[in-house]
Structure 1
Amino acid sequence: MSVFQSLVFDTTMLDGIADPEARARLWAECFEQIVTGIDMGFAEGDARIIGTHKFLVNETIALGEMFSSSFVGIRTRKHINRDDEDHVYLSFNIGQTAQIGRQLGREIDIQPGQAGLAVMDASTEAIAPSNGHCISLKLPSPIFGEWGLSPVDLACRPLDCSGADYQLLTGYARLLIANGAGLEADSAAEATQHLIKLTGRWLGARDGVQGAEGEEAVYRARLAFVRQTISKQACDTQVSLERVARRLGMPSRTVQHMLAKAGESFSQIVMAARLRRARVYLLDPTHADLSVADIAFRCGFLDVSSFYRAFRAAYDVTPKSLREQAGTLPPE
C-alpha cells in the first residue's frame, strides 16, 4: 500500500513520570515504533525530555518533523536489525541550534539550515544540545544506487544546502507532512516519488532522477519495495528469488519482469546489498573485533576468496586495505 499513515507522539504521554531516565527510555520506545531502535538520553544537564514527533509513513519512506529538548541519541550494534540495514536517514536542521552527528569515525556539525546523512546499518550518535527542530527522512538505500551515489561515502560529511533545490525539498517535505495523510493511493505514490526526486536532485544525481506520474509512479514505488525486500534478505545464504517472491506475494516471473524493466536482476541486487553491508562492517569502529572472514560469512558469502574478489572489483580496494585506511583493523 502506498497510502500514508500519519503518526504523532509527544511527551504529554509522559506526564506524571518525573525520573529523567524513565522518560528518556519511554521516549526512545516511541521513536523505535516509527524510525529505529535507539538509546535516548539528555545533553548539557537538560533532563526535561520534552518534544513532539509527527510522522508520515508508507512502504517506501518515513518522513517526520521533530522538535525536542536537549537529547543524545545513540545506536549501537544491539539496535541494528534487518529492517534497518537497507535504509538511509537524512536530518534537515530547521531549528535555531546546531546538531552533531557521529558515524563511521566521522563527525559533522549540522548548523541551522544544513543537513546530515547517516546509514542505518552502522553505529551512530546524534546530539542536539538544546531545542532541536528538524525534518527527518528515511529512504531505502537502493534508491541511492540508482543515482550513482554511495550513502556510506556521504555519511557524516558536509552536504551542500545552499541552493534552491534544498529549499524546495524541505518546503515540500513539510507540506507533505501536513497534508499527505489525506492522499489516495495513486496520489500518495506520486508524492513519494516526487519527494525522492527532489532529494536526488539536491544531492546532485540529476542524470539519474527522472519524473514519473500515474502508473509509472506506482511501478517505481513497487519496484523500490521489491529492491528493499531483496536487500533485506540478501545476507541470508539461503536467499532465493522464489523465497523473496513469496514474501512479496508475487509470482517469481513478475518480480523478474519488474527488475528486468529497470535493467536489473535478482542476483545483482543481492550482490550489491552484500557488498554494501560488508563495507559498512569494515568501516564501522564498533565492528573492529570482527575478522574479514567473519564479515564475509555474516554478509552471505560462502568463502573468503570470492568475497575478496567481489569486493575489490566493486570498490577497487581490498577489505584489509580499506580497514587500514579507516583505522578499524581488529586488535591483535
Structure 2
Amino acid sequence: MLADTAAQTVSFSVSDIPEHHRDEFIRDFYGRLQMRLQVEPDQTHRLVFDARTLFLSDLKCTMASVSPMTWHRTTELMADGNDDIALSWNKGGYRVSLPGRGDVTTRPGAAAILSLDRRWTVQAEDSRWTMMLQFKRSLLAPLVRNLDEIAPDHIGRFQPVHQLLFDYLSSLLRMESAATLGPLVSRHVADLLAAAFNTGSARPPSPGIRAARLAAIKQHIAQNLRDPALSAEQVSRKFAISDRYIRQLFAEDDTSFSSYVSDQRLAYVHGCLTDRGQMLRRIADIAFDVGFTEPSTFYRQFRMRYGRTPTEVRQAALRAIN
C-alpha cells in the first residue's frame, strides 16, 4: 500500500545521477523499491526520466517525461500485498498485456487502469509526457460498484469528466502548496475518480467536480487576463456550462466572477509596478494592457485593494531598489 508519509511534493531527474549509474538506479531503486515495478528502459534510446510527484497519505500523483520503457508488475513483486489501483495516462498510448484478460491498446493521451494485485505488462514508446495516479483501493471502493470489472481503457480524454480529472491532477502538480491541502485534495480526487469511473451517472456534481471546474476556470482567467472581453458569458461558452453556474461556483468560493477577475488584474499591475525591469512603463499602459479600459475605475479599485495609489506603490519600490 501507499506509505503513510507526510504530504510532500518531490522532483527527480535522472540527469542528477552519474551517467554510468542511471540505468541501475531506474531499474532497482525507482522501479523495484519506489514504484514496485520491474522497469526495462529501451536500450536503443538515451535514458530520460524527469518526474514531479505529489505524495499524500492515500494517493500519489506523478507527471513525468520518460524515454521508451516497459513496465512489469510481476508475481514476485505482488508478494508485497499491495492492492492499490494505478491510473496512467501517456502521450502515445499504451500496449497493455493482462494475463488471463487479453491485450489492450489505449489511445494516445488516454489512460490505462491497472491494479497492483494483478500481473500485467505495459509498454510505452512515446512518453514525452505521462501522468500516473496511484491510490488506495479504499479511497474509491465505497463510491464505485464492481471496481475490478471496469475495462482497463475506460478512462479516456473525450468525456468531459475524464478531461476534468486529468486537468485537476495536472493543476495539482503545478501547485507549490498542493501537499498542504492533503485531506481536501484527496476528497476532490475521490469525487472526480468516482465520476470518471461511473461515466453516465445522473447524480448531481459532487464537491470535487465543482472544485475542479472552478480550478479550470481560474486557470483560463489567468491565461486571458489581458482580454478586455473576459466575462462569465465568454467562459460559459468555453466550458459549455451556464454563466449562472459559473457565478455559483465563485459564490461558493466567497467571491464573485467579476471580483476575482479584478483582483487578479490588480495583482498583475502591482507586480509590474514593483518589477525593476518595468519602472519606465506608464502606469496607464500597464492597466490597459491587462484589461482595465476605464482609468478611473482602475485607480479607484487599486487604492481600495492596496491602500495606496499606483504611483505610491511604484515610488516605494524605487526607494527599496535604491
What pairs up with 1:176-255 in 2 under 5 angstroms? 176-179=172-175, 181=177, 183-184=179-180, 187-204=181-198, 206=201, 207=203, 210-211=206-207
Give the match for residue 136 of structure 1.
Answer: 132
Aligned-pair CA distance for 1:178 = 1.7
- For 1:183 and 1:197, locate their aligned partners in 2 and report how far apart those are by CA, in whole Å: 18
Runs (4+) of structure 1 exceeding 6 A deviation are none
- For 1:180 and 1:84, locate their aligned partners in 2 and report how far apart those are by CA, in whole Å: 29
Out of 77, 86, 89, the position equivalent to 1:89 is 86
1:101 aligns with 2:96: yes
**Aligned positions, number:** 201
Aligned-pair CA distance for 1:23 = 3.6
TM-score normalised by length of structure 2: 0.55
Task: List alignment gaps of at least 5 residues for structure 1.
Answer: 213-332
Give the match for residue 47 of structure 2.
Answer: 49
Secondary structure of 1:146's counterpart equals: coil
Deviations 1:218-260 (A, max 9, x none): xxxxxxxxxxxxxxxxxxxxxxxxxxxxxxxxxxxxxxxxxxx
Secondary structure of 2:169's counterpart equals: helix
Larger radius of gyration: 2
Aligned-pair CA distance for 1:89 = 0.3
8 Å contact from structure 2 (residues 9, 55) kept in 1:
yes
- For 1:59 and 1:208, locate their aligned partners in 2 and report how far apart those are by CA, in whole Å: 28
Q: Equivalent pairs: percent with the same residue? A: 13
Task: List alignment gaps of at least 5 residues for structure 2.
Answer: 209-322
Describe the shift of the 1:203–1:195 C-alpha distance in structure 2 as closer, same or farther (beyond 3 A).
same
Q: How well do the aligned residues superpose, as a CA RMSD in angstroms?
A: 2.7
What pairs up with 1:1-332 in 2 under 5 angstroms? 4-17=7-20, 23-28=22-27, 29-34=29-34, 36-43=35-42, 46-82=44-80, 84-85=82-83, 87-93=84-90, 95=91, 97-105=92-100, 106-154=102-150, 156-179=152-175, 181=177, 183-184=179-180, 187-204=181-198, 206=201, 207=203, 210-211=206-207
- For 1:197 and 1:72, locate their aligned partners in 2 and report how far apart those are by CA, in whole Å: 31
Describe the shift of the 1:102–1:132 C-alpha distance in structure 2 as closer, same or farther (beyond 3 A).
farther
Describe the shift of the 1:15–1:82 C-alpha distance in structure 2 as closer, same or farther (beyond 3 A).
closer
Describe the shift of the 1:201–1:158 C-alpha distance in structure 2 as closer, same or farther (beyond 3 A).
closer
- For 2:148 and 2:106, locate their aligned partners in 1 and report how far apart those are by CA, in whole Å: 18
TM-score normalised by length of structure 1: 0.54
Task: Letter of the 1:58 partner, please give it.
Answer: L
Give the match for residue 228 of structure 1.
Answer: none
Task: Letter of the 1:103 partner, please give it.
Answer: L
Describe the shift of the 1:39–1:3 C-alpha distance in structure 2 as closer, same or farther (beyond 3 A).
closer
